Structure 1
Amino acid sequence: MLRVHSPPSAVRVVTAPKSERSRSPAGRASAPCGKLQLDLDTEHGLLADGLLPFSVCQTVTREIWAAARAEAEALHRKQKRRTTTRLEENVSECSFPLSLGPSEPSQTQSDEQLAGTVPAEEVVSLALKALSSALDRSGLSLPSANVSAAGGRPSPAEDVVLSRVRTLSLCAVAYWREVSQDLGKAAASLARFLEMQRRLYWRRPPWRGVNLGGWLLLEPGPSHELFQQFGARNSHCEWQLLHQMRNKLGPQRAAEVLEAHRSTFVTEEDFQQIKSYGFNAVRIPFGYWIVTGPSNGDLYVGPALDILDRALAWCKHLGLQVLLDLHGAPGGESGETPCGREMKDWRWERWRFEESLEALKIIAERYKGHPAVSGIAVCNEPSEKVPADVLCQFYDQAIQAIRAAGMPPDEVSIVLPVYRTERLDEIWRLWNKVFDGFARHANVAFDLHLYHCFGAWWQRQGLKSHLRMTKRDRKILRRVPAVVGEWSLALPDRAMASSENDEEAYRSFASAQLDAYGHASHGWFFWNWRDSPEHHGWDAKMCLQRHWLSPVEWKDIPRSQRSLVGK
């Protein structure tokens, strides 16, 4: 269901003579194509800052996408190139730009660069007509008696809307022209298309946050005190720890200890500190049992939605955004510790997809319209054993379930974990080719976890190599709508040994990562708010206290003024 906000009191859609349009003040964009001029009320919210009702944005986006595809197909036929069938076949043969190819398209490409050598003004013109019609159907146009009051000077809000719609159109044209030739460039065009679409209706800033891991799903690092007390040697996940606790304490007492942990591990004071450090969001990982209680004979303890309720109330009071993260799926999305149960013989068929969808529906229905909730992740780190088509099918169903439960795109982003960049190629192509996922579903993002410490290759790299690799991550993030759901300052021993100063190594690594992850369209979350004191680079509080992390790096402060902050 689409929610259309109440219209502002003054919106005009008029046709302006070309002579009047030419009198736009210097530095402002004139109305594109000489077709339409919008005069938007700058005192009444929704359209004042260049935002549109999502229903209007959706209509315009669909018109643009269809027109751009048709334009590209006509161009190919005219130039006697490949047929549409051959074009679609070539998409599956291309590779996602992890290697990036010879060029790196700029985030500030000009309209001419986006459109190519052939004018794309017909698509822009259709987009503006669609915008006019959609606004009119939404009751956002004034009676004809007021239209004559419009002058030739575009308002700032008008400039913003028309500029974004124009760029949206040119990005769509560029994508459909490039997709059979250079998938790297096509990916960049699609990413910018989605970014510009989101800017037309999304009010919130990108996430700059921390994870609250180890709270509603136990892991050895963040929940180290419980693991040390009840099973450090024999427990590597929540399931194993609960088994040890039950053996030592009995089922009832074990449940009481766990409930005490949930009530005290993260408090209102933690949220206040998170806010004071300059973060604007938290990612809250939880197991499905927090939502529905354990099923299928699982050992977990739940439900415990009252804990989430209280956390969201604190976030609402403090103005923090929340990404709700279904971190442990029924049956597990892998056989690894983060999903709640380590299982060496885990098979992807164990993942109970229908139960996962049910948990997501409950969360969406419970928290729809909550001012703190701006995102929901449908799972955490899916195993590579899960076939890509099965994973994308689940993602498609999860998006539909969440939207149908009352979380529209202009209120909540939906996060789809890819997890490792090595799988981005496969999932990106399948999501676009088979599911048309980014075109059909607005405000979705892939989740990437960008760690530099797992695997033999990373262990062999020196510090300079780690810093260089953050530039690769930056290039990838500019080609796909994404959130970096997890990252840390953890570095292998060899990287630390190659640095003359450990403190400076951590600061340089943090700065390089923040510079790269700032290009993620939806933002990033540091792992974790707190961790074992033995694990350097994982505990955000410690990293901040030691000045390895600096809020100046992610606050909206011009670089030229950052040295003055705190003086």
Structure 2
Amino acid sequence: MRCRCLRSGSATGAAGAEARERGERGERGERSRSPCQRRERQEFCQHCSKADAEHGPLSDGLLPFAVCQAVTTAVWTAARKQAESAHRDVALRFPLSLGSEASQTQPDELCVEAAGASLEAAEEVVSLALSTLTTALKESGWEAERLGAAVCAALRRSRPRPIGGSACPAEDVLVARVRTMSLCAVAYWRQVSQDLGKAAASLARYLEQHRRLYWRRPPYRGVNLGGWLLLEPGPSHELFQLHGTNANRCEWSLLRTMRERLGAEKTTEVLHAHRSTFLTEEDFRQIRARGFNAVRIPFGYWVVCGASGGDPYVGPGLEFLDRALTWCRQLGLQALLDLHGAPGGESAEAPCGRESSKWRWQLWRFDESLEALRILAQRYKGHPAVTGISVCNEPSEKVPAEVLCKFYDQAVRAIRTAGMPPEEVSIVLPIYRTERLDEIWRVWSKTFDGFARHANVAFDLHLYHCFGAWWHRQGLGSHLRMAKRDRKILRRVPAVVGEWSLALPQKAVAQADHEDQAYKAFASAQLQAYSHASHGWFFWNWCDSPEHHPGWDARTCLKRQWLELE
């Protein structure tokens, strides 16, 4: 089990269960809608879903990002002005929770509900979006050569084609997406002062449709490579057993012990040997062959720019990242670069590199973190395998939300300025535990307007079922239901599930006829739920200590057929 397992708790226990229960009430509220309202939503949304399923990205090519941005800027501004006008002198405010009783409307239903307050006003935004798209395409010189006559003709019309009319597939997809984006922007600004849950779902749908206009990659179906470039007792168990003591629970303390016993030069040699042999090209081949399409590569800041602040870490070591990314490019794997350990630490826990009871959030050296991200972006910009960067990992809840979101805003700007544009690289902003999602979403949206200002960013959630006594008291049925309910959360925000596992408590396993049955059901429930994450998911971990729960080790889970990827 990972060294973080002794933490207080991923308190997704009773409080988390109570919050998620509200989703059940939202479903009951949907059944109270009139048959006419439900048919209208279903008709339009089935049209959008069918176009996406049959044609995916535009059949004539994706749009230039600059064109997409021109459209979204116009739509966002117009929708906000409409909402402010409708409220007149009443300031737009933000409710406190994403989980209100009426907030569980399915995202696919929002495209019609968006215009509920004023269909005519919503259609004005749709027309503006299509007009802006036409103008931006002409100015880019891209229209006639890439889209074809049928799409261009559709865009020149002042109003979108009625549903059910004849058109080419590319026109269907483009017009449907732009229309859905526009209506969801209207929905967001009309809902944000009344129901933050509905507003979040509208915004998530808006961002989803925007991203599909320019993003060429499938969602991540990946695995973590933890224990390689940042040591943890589970996956890096051999080093801890050979060179550590029972007191060594993180890389910082292990290296202090090694330097005392072996000296600085020998310690560096041991770390270099570990980094050279822990993962090989064959591991990457196996990852690809077993159905994964991506890897998340955790590393400490010292791998990027060397140790600072008196830390005992060994670095830099970017040559190991270079080699891994070469294998990813050759095998067609996407790579999410994960700054797992920030300068000064983003928490007091071992996964950031150092476990320390004396840590406080002011020790996090934000400026050095931004510099490490700039170095990464400059080095790997344009690399075909690098499709994501995570700006940190599992930040402590002691870091004030305003401070964290300010860092996220600066990090996105640093990465983009260094040469990684939204159409090439996603940027991942860790929330970590779902209990803090409301707070961070609210600050990020209200104070920074973060999703509107920064394209192709996603929140990172880690969804485990084993940390804390509450999880260990639950039966198998409860674990499966809780996994199912996670999809409601994932529909409300752009998200990647950066870590999850099959570490299932023994009480739940004992309730199945056979342990294989329990683990297969648990894996299936999680995979179904995490398929709703807009940016995908990553299993923790590719390998782990044989002394730990087998649900942490992807190779074991695959071998025993607990984890089956289609």
> In the aligned structure 2, how far is the partner of 1:262 from the partner of 1:148?
55
Greater fraction helix: 2
> In the aligned structure 2, how far is the partner of 1:147 from the partner of 1:251?
68
Which of 140, 147, 159 aligns to 2:172? It is 159
Distance 1:319 1:148, change over 3 A: closer
Which residue of 2 is the match for residue 323 of structure 1?
Answer: 336
Which residue of 2 is the match for residue 70 of structure 1?
Answer: 81
Mean alpha-carbon deviation: is it higher for 409-418 or for 102-111? 102-111
Which amino acid in the other structure matches residue 54 of structure 1? F
Which of 103, 128, 131 aligns to 1:129? It is 131
Which residue of 2 is the match for residue 61 of structure 1?
Answer: 72
SS in 2 for 1:115: coil
Alignment check: 8 A CA contact 2:225 2:298 kept: yes
Alignment check: 8 A CA contact 1:50 1:158 kept: no
> In the aligned structure 1, how far is the partner of 2:151 from the partner of 2:131?
21
Describe the superposition over 1:272-326 as per-residue Cα deviations: whole angstroms up to 9, x where unpaired: 0000001000000000000000011110000000000010000000000000000
Please state how far the C-alpha of 1:151 moved relative to its aligned partner. 7.5
Mean alpha-carbon deviation: is it higher for 53-62 or for 497-506? 497-506
Question: Are 1:347 and 2:360 an aligned pair?
Answer: yes
Which of 419, 425, 449 aligns to 2:438? It is 425
Mean alpha-carbon deviation: is it higher for 252-261 or for 404-413? 252-261
Alignment check: 8 A CA contact 1:325 1:379 kept: yes
Please state how far the C-alpha of 1:106 moved relative to its aligned partner. 2.3
Which residue of 2 is the match for residue 542 of structure 1?
Answer: 556
> In the aligned structure 2, how far is the partner of 1:526 from the partner of 1:254?
31
> In the aligned structure 1, how far is the partner of 2:431 from the partner of 2:153?
49
Q: Between Structure 1 and Structure 2, how many residues are aligned?
A: 501
Question: Are 1:141 and 2:154 an aligned pair?
Answer: no
> In the aligned structure 2, how far is the partner of 1:149 from the partner of 1:422?
44
Which residue of 1 is the match for residue 544 of structure 2?
Answer: 531
Distance 1:292 1:549, change over 3 A: same
Please state how far the C-alpha of 1:177 moved relative to its aligned partner. 1.1
> In the aligned structure 2, how far is the partner of 1:110 from the partner of 1:237?
46
Alignment check: 8 A CA contact 2:44 2:111 kept: no
Distance 1:180 1:333, change over 3 A: same
Question: Are 1:177 and 2:195 an aligned pair?
Answer: no
SS in 1 for 2:114: helix
Please state how far the C-alpha of 1:111 moved relative to its aligned partner. 3.9
Which of 459, 462, 468 aligns to 1:455? It is 468
**1:464-543 counterparts in 2 under 5 A?**
464-535=477-548, 536-543=550-557
> In the aligned structure 2, how far is the partner of 1:142 from the partner of 1:411?
24
SS in 1 for 2:428: strand
Please state how far the C-alpha of 1:50 moved relative to its aligned partner. 5.6
Please state how far the C-alpha of 1:496 moved relative to its aligned partner. 2.4
> In the aligned structure 2, how far is the partner of 1:213 from the partner of 1:401?
25
Distance 1:212 1:151, change over 3 A: closer
Please state how far the C-alpha of 1:500 moved relative to its aligned partner. 3.3
Describe the superposition over 1:328-353 as per-residue Cα deviations: whole angstroms up to 9, x where unpaired: 00000011100111101100011000
Residue segments in structure 2 that go unaligned for 5+ positions in a row: 1-42, 49-54, 155-165
> In the aligned structure 2, how far is the partner of 1:292 from the partner of 1:132?
46
Which residue of 1 is the match for residue 388 of structure 2?
Answer: 375
SS in 2 for 1:360: helix
TM-score with structure 2 setting the length? 0.85
Distance 1:546 1:449, change over 3 A: same
TM-score with structure 1 setting the length? 0.85
Please state how far the C-alpha of 1:503 moved relative to its aligned partner. 1.2
Distance 1:191 1:148, change over 3 A: closer
Question: Are 1:446 and 2:459 an aligned pair?
Answer: yes
SS in 2 for 1:108: helix
Please state how far the C-alpha of 1:160 moved relative to its aligned partner. 1.1
Alignment check: 8 A CA contact 1:50 1:200 kept: no
Which residue of 1 is the match for residue 409 of structure 2?
Answer: 396
Question: Are 1:209 and 2:222 an aligned pair?
Answer: yes
Distance 1:147 1:461, change over 3 A: closer
Question: Are 1:243 and 2:245 an aligned pair?
Answer: no
Question: Are 1:104 and 2:104 an aligned pair?
Answer: yes
Alignment check: 8 A CA contact 1:210 1:281 kept: yes
Please state how far the C-alpha of 1:247 moved relative to its aligned partner. 2.3
Which residue of 2 is the match for residue 258 of structure 1?
Answer: 271
Describe the superposition over 1:492-543 as per-residue Cα deviations: whole angstroms up to 9, x where unpaired: 2322233332111111110000010000000000000000112220000000
> In the aligned structure 2, how far is the partner of 1:163 from the partner of 1:362?
39
Which residue of 1 is the match for residue 159 of structure 2?
Answer: none
Please state how far the C-alpha of 1:392 moved relative to its aligned partner. 0.3
Describe the superposition over 1:424-453 as per-residue Cα deviations: whole angstroms up to 9, x where unpaired: 010000000000000100000000000111
Alignment check: 8 A CA contact 2:502 2:552 kept: yes
Distance 1:298 1:50, change over 3 A: same
| Stretches of 4+ aligned residues off by more than 4 angstroms | 146-153
SS in 2 for 1:551: coil
Which residue of 1 is the match for residue 158 of structure 2?
Answer: none
Identical columns (%): 69
Please state how far the C-alpha of 1:148 moved relative to its aligned partner. 11
Which of 214, 225, 234 aligns to 1:221? It is 234
Please state how far the C-alpha of 1:73 moved relative to its aligned partner. 2.4
Mean alpha-carbon deviation: is it higher for 440-449 or for 172-181? 172-181
Alignment check: 8 A CA contact 1:381 1:417 kept: yes
Alignment check: 8 A CA contact 2:151 2:171 kept: no
Alignment check: 8 A CA contact 2:58 2:213 kept: no
Please state how far the C-alpha of 1:467 moved relative to its aligned partner. 0.9
> In the aligned structure 2, how far is the partner of 1:155 from the partner of 1:411?
28
SS in 2 for 1:180: coil
> In the aligned structure 1, how far is the partner of 2:559 from the partner of 2:515?
15
Please state how far the C-alpha of 1:244 moved relative to its aligned partner. 1.9
Alignment check: 8 A CA contact 2:259 2:267 kept: yes
The RMSD of aligned alpha carbons is 2.3
> In the aligned structure 2, how far is the partner of 1:241 from the partner of 1:123?
59
> In the aligned structure 2, how far is the partner of 1:111 from the partner of 1:360?
37
Mean alpha-carbon deviation: is it higher for 57-66 or for 230-239? 230-239
Which residue of 1 is the match for residue 10 of structure 2?
Answer: none
> In the aligned structure 1, how far is the partner of 2:451 from the partner of 2:397?
22
Describe the superposition over 1:95-146 as per-residue Cα deviations: whole angstroms up to 9, x where unpaired: 122xx52463224327432321521110000001100111111112349xx9
Residue segments in structure 1 that go unaligned for 5+ positions in a row: 1-26, 33-41, 78-82, 553-567
Please state how far the C-alpha of 1:72 moved relative to its aligned partner. 2.0
Which amino acid in the other structure matches residue 141 of structure 1? E
> In the aligned structure 2, how far is the partner of 1:439 from the partner of 1:383?
26
Alignment check: 8 A CA contact 2:366 2:407 kept: yes
Mean alpha-carbon deviation: is it higher for 520-529 or for 485-494? 485-494
Question: Are 1:297 and 2:299 an aligned pair?
Answer: no
SS in 2 for 1:414: strand
Distance 1:149 1:545, change over 3 A: closer
